[in-house]
Structure 1
Amino acid sequence: MVLPAMTTKHRIFTTSFASVYPFYIAKAEKKGRTKAEVDAIICWLTGYSQKALEAQLKKQTDFETFFQQAPKMNPARSLIKGVVCGVRVEDVEEPTMREIRYLDKLVDELAKGKSMEKILRA
């Protein structure tokens, strides 16, 4: 008897974006950056307006839904390269996980002191 392959979702997909958001802010602020810069990065990546981002946070939307409902994922996000948590972001095959890793990488770049112009691939 052959059982169908089980595809288990990574737990980050069902984690509320709002529960991780403060960690993005803390990471940036610890290095002298601001919440406004983190919000600008999130809005650049996803197409959410500031108001829509705040609504998603208030609704406790999970990561998967947060990215699925994003108004317009920035086409320039494919320019984001590098390693996050030991994984090359450009090699992540699962689409939602890749979006999450893109965001992680952008916040890392902010915390490392990169200019907003470079972070937003201007």
Structure 2
Amino acid sequence: MAKHRIYTTSFASVYPHYINKAEKKDRTKKEVDEIICWMTGYNEGELESQLEKKTDFETFFSEAPQLNPSRHLIKGVICGVRVEDIEEPTMQEIRYLDKMIDELAKGKKMEKILRK
């Protein structure tokens, strides 16, 4: 079976959409970066490096320094699918991130988004 197209899509090509979605709802790039770094363990410099290299989603998550164990607390529906029910690990990571960005855009407090 062929890989889903999102796996080979560069993270850098989707990143501006995350920023745009947040900023439309008066949230900030800094908050988006905080979510991404919380989830993946990248620091800001490492995140910037991944963006400059135009790393694809599959590599972005496979090279993540430390995927946050609390990300499994993320529940809910994104694109009509429950994130906790997604069986393919890379797709689940992508959807966890999508869900967190949605929560940011919906005005949730960062403490809740970061499962503190």
> Considering the TM-score relative to the shorter chain, is it more than 0.5?
yes
Distance, in Å, in 2 between the alignment partners of 1:28 and 1:86 is 21
2:36 equivalent to 1:42: yes
2:115 equivalent to 1:121: yes
3-state DSSP of counterpart to 1:71 = coil
Once the two structures are superposed, the pairs formed by residues 81-92 of structure 1 within 5 Å of their partners are 81-92=75-86
Aligned residue for 1:3? Answer: none
TM-score w.r.t. length of structure 2: 1.00
Paired AA for residue 103 in structure 2: E
CA-atom RMSD in angstroms: 0.3
Q: Which has the larger radius of gyration?
A: 1
Paired AA for residue 48 in structure 1: Y
Aligned residue for 1:65? Answer: 59
Paired AA for residue 44 in structure 1: W
| 1:26 paired residue among 20, 25, 43 | 20
* Aligned-pair CA distance for 1:66: 0.1
- Unpaired segments of 5 or more residues in structure 2? none
Q: Deviations over 1:34-55 (max 9, x none)?
A: 0000000000000000000000
Identity of aligned residues (%): 75
3-state DSSP of counterpart to 2:64 = coil
* Aligned-pair CA distance for 1:94: 0.3
Paired AA for residue 47 in structure 1: G
Distance, in Å, in 1 between the alignment partners of 2:74 and 2:20 is 22
Paired AA for residue 43 in structure 2: S
Moved over 4 A (4+): none
- Unpaired segments of 5 or more residues in structure 1? 1-6
Distance, in Å, in 2 between the alignment partners of 1:92 and 1:17 is 20
